[in-house]
Amino acid sequence: MKDRMRQRVLIANRGEIAVRAIRSCRSLGLESIAVYSTADQSAPHAWLADQAFCIGPPPSRQSYLSMDALLHVARESKCQLVYPGYGFLAENAEFAERCSKEGLIFVGPSPENIQEMGDKACARVAAKKFGVPIVPGSPGTFTDAVEALAAADDIGFPLLLKASAGGGGRGMRVVEDRSQFSMLFNQASQEAREAFGNPAVYLERYFPAVRHIEVQIFGDAHGTVRHLGERDCTTQRRHQKLVEESPSPVLTDKERAGVLEAAVKLAAGVKYQGAGTVEFIFDEGSREFFFIEMNTRIQVEHPVTEMCIGHDLIIEQLRVAMGEGLSIPKESDWPGGHAIEFRINAEDPVHDFRPSPGRVHHWRPPQGAGIRVDSFVYKGIDIQPFYDSMIAKLIVHGADRESALERARSALDAFEIDGPATSRSFHRALIDDPDFVASKIHTRWVENTFLQRFTDEGR
């Protein structure tokens, strides 16, 4: 293996994950090369890295999504690796392929893995091939509402429309009955085209009240694939995750073993390399789980896994990309316990989570045992309106869920933020709600139940 001290990594991202990647590079003795838009010239990742280059104006498509600009910087700065993080080009097979053609190591799965598993319809085929249960749905994708309607009638209503090429809730619609189908299909397809450049949509049976369970997996170039436990991401609003925790508070040991085994079986079957997440829905009524998709990147919520296994997953991504074998501790050596992550967004939860960009006048994150804050924010920074609204991740860890929640209450109370409206008050109210405390929730619980209580109390 080449001397790490001679290796340079292009950090093809911004915000919290860019800051984190720079620090992980430093831990491994790697040099970091940052990129920034003109809106981010004062952002921490632009001055924490060993070098930094401006790649364009604020709009993402002219900067962080510009493959030509990113690859130009990589060539000019003599990088050997490209770290995409999450979002932007992290799950773009074309970008991974172009990196490879430039002689660059893309820190992530192969273009083939991204292509197969990043396409939800193809991923369903792979899951079925390897014996992983899938949600009943259409055998392929559609771009025409009339053709899709025949498949919809076979599946039955209600059903879920999902963009084949993306995630994050974009290109997704719930169709309650046949009369709504064409209108909602066209909306989903158009949104998918705009967000991912691909209008293809596939159909799934819709479960109105399920849990969202995902399994962190890692594979290396030597054929080893391991799971790193599961995360429960049921607390969502409009398909966007708000809170994640590990382990899931609702799975039995037998159910957990089944989900973990299914995730490893799928990842091993497709010869997956790098970090990935296999996602399932879990129906508490029938106690059944079904594969829904795979994310071929590191997830925003990976820190809850890190807290429970005692290992840095960004460092592991870099090591695996350089050809090293997995170095994750044995499961018997994991710290265990319970971890919860809260996404602190620059949004106003009282007013329908309206984006709230602006200057941060005061910033004092909580500290203490079992408390971690991943962020890029400092006093005086301007939160930009051009990008994702997440400004920090608060992660707490305790011996069990009860102690983790108690620690979260103290941490959220101590979190001082003045400037943009944030979701801190939402999270503080959430963890006192009796349904949340008792884990009696589902993926639509926030929208259908909790937000009414939250606004009624005038938070």
Chain segment 292-312, per-residue pLDDT in tens: 999 999 999 999 999 999 999
Strand 371-375 relative to strand 362-364, pairing: unpaired
Catalytic residue among 297, 343, 372, 424: 297
pLDDT score at 239: 87
Q: Which of 92-96, 130-134, 136-140, 286-290 has the lowest mean pLDDT?
A: 136-140
Rounded mean pLDDT of 41-57?
A: 97
How open is the CA angle 201-83-263, to the nearest 5 degrees?
50
CA distances to 13, 219, 384, 459 from 321, rounded to whole Å, are 17, 10, 32, 46
Does the reported pTM lie above 0.85? yes
297 assigned to active site: yes
pLDDT score at 322: 97
Rounded mean pLDDT of 418-433?
A: 97
pLDDT score at 137: 87
- Whole-number average pLDDT of the chain: 95
Residue 6 has pLDDT above 80, yes or no: no
Strand 416-418 relative to strand 382-383, pairing: unpaired
Give residue 183's Cα distance to chain centre: 29
pLDDT score at 283: 93
Q: Which residues contact 138 (CB under 8 A, 6 or more apart)?
A: 121, 148, 151, 155, 202, 203, 204
Rounded mean pLDDT of 7-20?
A: 98
Residue 314 has pLDDT above 90, yes or no: yes
Chain segment 343-392, per-residue pLDDT in tens: 999 999 999 999 999 999 999 999 999 999 999 999 999 999 999 999 99
Please, what are the domains in the chain? Answer: 4-107 (3.40.50.20), 136-205 (3.30.1490.20), 211-456 (3.30.470.20)
pLDDT score at 1: 45
Report the amino acid identity of residue 355.
Answer: P
Residue 426 has pLDDT above 90, yes or no: yes
Chain segment 174-206, per-residue pLDDT in tens: 999 999 999 999 999 999 998 888 999 999 988
Letter string b/e over residues 82-96, b meaning 16 or more CB atoms within 10 A of that residue's CB: bbbbbbbbbbbbebb
Rounded mean pLDDT of 82-108?
A: 97
Cα–Cα distance between 300 and 70 in angstroms, integer? 22
Q: Which of 48-52, 65-69, 85-89, 134-138 has the lowest mean pLDDT?
A: 134-138
Residue 93 has pLDDT above 80, yes or no: yes
Rounding to the nearest 10 degrees, give the CA dihedral for residues 301, 303, 307, 308. Answer: 40
Question: Among 71, 108, 49, which residue's Cα sits nearest to residue 376?
Answer: 49
Q: Which of 69-78, 95-104, 111-120, 267-276 has the lowest mean pLDDT?
A: 111-120
Percent of the chain scoring above 90 in pLDDT: 89
Report the amino acid identity of residue 175.
Answer: V
Residue 275 has pLDDT above 60, yes or no: yes
